[in-house]
Structure 1
Amino acid sequence: MRKRETIAQKLLRRHVRAPFLAKLVTVNQKWIFFKSQRPPNQCLPSRQRGTPAPRPDRFTLETLFM
C-alpha cells in the first residue's frame, strides 16, 4: 500500500511540472471474456436431431478492462 502512495505522489508532482492527466483516457469498467465460443453448427439431413452441446461457462475466464 505504501508503494502506491509513493507512486501517486510522484505522479502528482510530475503533473505540476508537465500536465499530463488531461490526456489520460478514462472509460467505464467493462468485462471482457477471453473464451466466448459458440457450439459449432451442425449440417444434418432433415428430421435428424443434432448432438446437444453444453452451454459454455461464461464466468470462468474473464478480466476487468479499465
Structure 2
Amino acid sequence: MTKYFDETPFSFDDEPIYRMSPEELRGFPGWEHYNDEEANEIIDSLEKFANILHEIIVQRNVTE
C-alpha cells in the first residue's frame, strides 16, 4: 500500500499535540451515543484525515 502522508504529528512549536477526548467528541450534537472505543476510532480517523489535508496543502504551497 502506498503511503501518501507522514503520520508523525506536526507542531509549530515543541508543545505536545492536543488530542480530543471521547468525552469532548460526545459533546457535539449527534455524537453522544458513541462509547469510548467507537469515539477513539472516530478521533483516530479525524486525525488521519487532518494529516492528509495538511500534507496536500503543504505540497501545493511548495509547488506554487
- TM-score w.r.t. length of structure 2: 0.23
Instruction: Choose between structure 1 and 2: higher strand proportion.
Output: 1
- TM-score w.r.t. length of structure 1: 0.23
Instruction: Choose between structure 1 and 2: higher helix proportion.
Output: 2
Higher RCO structure, 1 or 2 (CA under 8 Å, sep 6+): 1
